[in-house]
Structure 1
Amino acid sequence: MKKICVVGLGYIGLPTAVMFANHGYQVLGVDVSERAINLLSKGQVHIEEPGLQEYLTKSLVGGTFTVSTTPEEADMFIVAVPSPITAEKTADMKYIEAATASIVPFLKKGDLVVLESTVPPRTVMDVMMPILAEANLEFGTELFVSHSPERVIPGKVFEELVNNSRIIGGINAESAERTREFYLSFVKGEFHMTDVTTAEMVKVIENTFRDVNIAFANEIAKMSENLGVNAWEAISLANHHPRVNIHFPGPGVGGHCIAVDPWFLVEKQTELAKIIHLSRLTNDGMPSFTVNKTLEILKSNYVRNPRVAVLGLTFKSNIDDVRESPSMEIVEKLSHEDINLVSFDPHVLENKVPSQTQSFEDAITHADTLVILTDHDYFKKLNPHTLAELMTTRIVLDTKNCINREEWEAAGFTVYKLGDGKGNPIG
């Protein structure tokens, strides 16, 4: 049984590790977080993902998965650590560098190193390879290196790990082929082989395309409010055209990919990435736009000493991930305003901000305004008549178009929607 060492047991590394552990490999999961290692060693997951607990339990019971804070010798090393951006909007490579350096003492002839983290183009060649060279193994014949970026979405990770197509870029053809042989154990999607830098570029431009599309939708939303148009209806109708696929607007873009990856291209090619840069600025500006809209609603409704309940802290529905979440920025900005702020998210079970409560009833009781920032199923199923009895003033701002306007208005609510110039009297 070949051994795989996965460095980084977060939202991508852990599902990947237990998937391999359940498909014929002995897997060591490595993470610098002692809390994560302690929980996993007890059979407890530290992140929310459907199916993860079952896969973890099965691999632990079968003895094919173990965890540690330090790597060991293996046949394949997978680096799946964060690659965030700095305050200056440049790629922070310290986690990639540290993870790569940590495996160097354990590399031997014939080993394969795979980077799964999403990174700026040329990271493997310019950042990882100089570090891996310290193993004194010849690249492409004694040590094989590739990049196979994750292409999954939180909430559907295991389904997409299996069924999505896989990009594999190697420093040479044999590196790519050796990588494919490992992933063949569970991947049913197509394999697309290329060179390592092209693979890095593919993943970044996939997410950048989506960011640019969302920025376009956000501009449409802002214009629609001024023109008396419902952007959600207009976009839906436009998407009936066979060659049009516009995304929908929102209070911002979050997550570890779409909100980050475009900056990699801006950093690499600043003078050329003009549309990409402007799109990032547009999407990064949506939290402030949402805050201003909230304050304008309170003012136009003459709400004094307002109690505002923010619903949703994660960047996406039905997950617990708050990384780069625009909701967190909105809460931070609102906390500096002259309002009584409370926030709630049914999936975030540990308080991440001072205003957070774990009780939904506490959040909405005596609230004047609800601001829905995440379209969790929990919020879609709310009964507005029940909420109306608990609130002081019945106002709701829906930034995700996830509630039924007519139903909520029938319960006595004044309903505002981001991008709805028809229904927003302040638009």
Structure 2
Amino acid sequence: MAEPTFKKISVIGLGYIGLPTAAMFASRKIEVVGVDVNQHAVDTINRGEVHIVEPDLDLVVRAVVNEGYLRATTVPEPAEAFLIAVPTPFKGDHHEPDLKYIEAAALAVAPVLKKGDLIILESTSPVGATEAMARWMAEARPDLSFPQAAGEAADIRVAHCPERVLPGKVMQELITNDRVIGGMTEKCSEAAARLYRNFVTGECVVASGPRVAEMAKLTENSFRDVNIAFANELSIICDKLDMDVWELISLANRHPRVNILQPGPGVGGHCIAVDPWFIVSSAPEEAQLIRTAREVNDAKPQWVIDKVHAAIGAHLSANPDKTAKDVTLAIYGLAFKPDIDDLRESPALVIAREISQSHSGSIHIIEPNIEVLPECLMNATLSFEAGAQADVHIMLVDHSPFKASSEPNGEIVDLRGVWR
């Protein structure tokens, strides 16, 4: 006999992944309770509004809140399935994964667990994080059995299912992308697949266990990171050899089996800039190429900063009556990719911050997707449209409005090939 469908789901963490996921389940007329420690986020969602920028998300959230299928709170409550989608940052500056938010979420959920519940870790995690989460819950609830001890007979089912979506297209890709599911047992995987099939039209692919599912997500982003590092290194080489890297890549990509990515100011976002280090932390002696790619991409912002200082110097050389304080800079874009508001791990933000700390003149930040500058840029001015009057123009993120802009007057540092 088929198992019953899920009637109540709880999503822990209402950020860039958790809120769209909660809204998607709620749009299928399932009761969803979102949990977040951020009271502002909770209050905003309960008004039918959103605290992040993602196309179509606001429309779905407004509808499901008004229809009573989604509400938010700061305290977990009983449900049949719990999806944990909290951050996994580093410990300090050592690129060592910090599972404190996953542990805090697990311990917050543990008191409301009951026999038959399903726990899914969606957070991108180092290998072994799902098993660690299960251990923390088992220690907090010795009255319940968990898969690591009871196998298929466990009271609680545990699985890992990482998100695999592109910011800016989350609402579409949550539905159409395949999901990789790694349950701690076969029944755990079956339960997780049944849950996601409420809205996923892609295939729910079952891995042999949570470790493989964890590694699959890390591998996907490391593959991207290595390829971006190749493009970024090419851009540095081409600059030294006085070549146009975008022309070079365009020509090379005419080969039927070559598809070089586009260079930029570095690599940002909470996935590609972070996940490869999780592999390195698990196998530091073996992950040599992955580590090198990370180092190449992490070093690119400083190369850009040096190019900006050189451009300022060139302007001063051409205008000997000026000092650095008289030089106005325009920085185009702060987000980690075009047409979103997400500044997490953004190399553009790193570059803007360092320049703002070293440059004594005026700085205009042109970023149409945010309303307030981060505190680290309080000495700069936020603008929303391209074309600021400046002596040095620094293109870091090719937002759509920038692509339509004509090449400005002055020194140009173009990291995206917009003004070629």
Report if TM-score (shorter chain) is over 0.5: yes
- 2:80 counterpart (72, 75, 78): 75
- In structure 1, the partner of 2:242 is 228
Q: Deviations over 1:51-100 (max 9, x none)?
A: 11111011012111010001100000000000112321111111111011
Deviation at 1:205, TM superposition (A): 0.7
Deviation at 1:198, TM superposition (A): 0.2
Alignment partners' CA distance in 2, 1:78 and 1:107:
13
Deviation at 1:363, TM superposition (A): 8.1
Residues 339 and 361 from structure 1, CA distance in 2 versus in 1: closer, same or farther, beyond 3 angstroms? Answer: farther
Alignment partners' CA distance in 2, 1:349 and 1:342:
14
State the AA in 2 paired with 1:231.
Answer: V
Deviation at 1:399, TM superposition (A): 0.6
- 1:171 counterpart (181, 184, 188): 184
Alignment partners' CA distance in 2, 1:151 and 1:93:
20
Task: Determine whether 1:155 maps to 2:168.
Answer: yes
State the AA in 2 paired with 1:206.
Answer: E
- In structure 2, the partner of 1:272 is 286
Alignment partners' CA distance in 2, 1:380 and 1:325:
20
- In structure 2, the partner of 1:344 is 366
State the AA in 2 paired with 1:402.
Answer: V
- In structure 2, the partner of 1:396 is 412
Deviation at 1:361, TM superposition (A): 6.6
Q: Deviations over 1:166-192 (max 9, x none)?
A: 100000111011011111111111121
- In structure 1, the partner of 2:159 is 146
Structure 1 stretch displaced more, 333-342 or 81-90: 333-342
Q: Deviations over 1:379-411 (max 9, x none)?
A: 112244xx65xxxxx2222111123x3xxxxxx
Alignment partners' CA distance in 2, 1:336 and 1:11:
30
Kept after mapping to 1: 8 A contact 2:365/2:383: no
Q: Deviations over 1:357-394 (max 9, x none)?
A: 333479823x101101101001112244xx65xxxxx2
Deviation at 1:123, TM superposition (A): 0.7
Question: Secondary structure of 1:180's partner?
Answer: helix
Kept after mapping to 1: 8 A contact 2:48/2:63: no
Alignment root-mean-square deviation, CA: 1.6
- In structure 2, the partner of 1:364 is 388
Alignment of 1:4-19 (within 5 A): 4-19=9-24
Task: Determine whether 1:210 maps to 2:234.
Answer: no
Alignment partners' CA distance in 2, 1:300 and 1:21:
56
Deviation at 1:350, TM superposition (A): 1.7
Task: Determine whether 1:180 maps to 2:193.
Answer: yes
Give the % identical residues: 43
Residues 128 and 361 from structure 1, CA distance in 2 versus in 1: closer, same or farther, beyond 3 angstroms? Answer: closer
State the AA in 2 paired with 1:76.
Answer: A
Kept after mapping to 2: 8 A contact 1:24/1:185: no
Kept after mapping to 2: 8 A contact 1:218/1:249: yes
Deviation at 1:336, TM superposition (A): 2.8
Task: Determine whether 1:43 maps to 2:48.
Answer: yes
Task: Determine whether 1:120 maps to 2:126.
Answer: yes
Alignment partners' CA distance in 2, 1:34 and 1:7:
13
Can you give the 5+ residue segments of structure 2 that lack an aligned partner in the other structure? 1-5, 147-151
- In structure 2, the partner of 1:93 is 99
Alignment partners' CA distance in 2, 1:382 and 1:151:
33
Kept after mapping to 2: 8 A contact 1:371/1:398: yes
Question: Secondary structure of 2:25's partner?
Answer: helix
Kept after mapping to 2: 8 A contact 1:344/1:356: no
Task: Determine whether 1:105 maps to 2:111.
Answer: yes
- 1:309 counterpart (330, 353, 356): 330
State the AA in 2 paired with 1:273.
Answer: A
State the AA in 2 paired with 1:224.
Answer: C
Question: Secondary structure of 1:348's partner?
Answer: coil
State the AA in 2 paired with 1:98.
Answer: A
Kept after mapping to 2: 8 A contact 1:342/1:355: no
Residues 297 and 186 from structure 1, CA distance in 2 versus in 1: closer, same or farther, beyond 3 angstroms? Answer: same
Alignment partners' CA distance in 2, 1:138 and 1:196:
18
Q: Deviations over 1:250-281 (max 9, x none)?
A: 11100000000011011111111111111111
Deviation at 1:223, TM superposition (A): 1.0
Kept after mapping to 1: 8 A contact 2:225/2:294: yes
Task: Determine whether 1:56 maps to 2:28.
Answer: no
Question: Secondary structure of 1:5's partner?
Answer: strand
Q: Deviations over 1:210-263 (max 9, x none)?
A: 111111111111111122322212222222323222211111100000000011
Question: Secondary structure of 1:67's partner?
Answer: strand
Deviation at 1:331, TM superposition (A): 1.2
- In structure 1, the partner of 2:398 is 375
Alignment partners' CA distance in 2, 1:249 and 1:232:
8
Question: Secondary structure of 1:297's partner?
Answer: helix
Count of residues in correspondence between the two structures = 395
Alignment partners' CA distance in 1, 2:398 and 2:26:
34
State the AA in 1 paired with 2:418.
Answer: C
Question: Secondary structure of 2:77's partner?
Answer: coil
Question: Secondary structure of 2:413's partner?
Answer: strand
Q: Deviations over 1:287-327 (max 9, x none)?
A: 10001011112223425421111110100000000000001
Task: Determine whether 1:330 maps to 2:351.
Answer: yes
Alignment partners' CA distance in 1, 2:300 and 2:383:
28
Deviation at 1:356, TM superposition (A): 4.1
- In structure 2, the partner of 1:242 is 256
Task: Determine whether 1:198 maps to 2:204.
Answer: no
Structure 1 stretch displaced more, 373-382 or 199-208: 373-382
Alignment partners' CA distance in 2, 1:222 and 1:235:
13
Kept after mapping to 2: 8 A contact 1:343/1:356: yes
Kept after mapping to 1: 8 A contact 2:121/2:160: yes
Deviation at 1:48, TM superposition (A): 0.2
Kept after mapping to 2: 8 A contact 1:307/1:339: no
Alignment of 1:277-296 (within 5 A): 277-296=291-310
Alignment partners' CA distance in 2, 1:360 and 1:219:
31
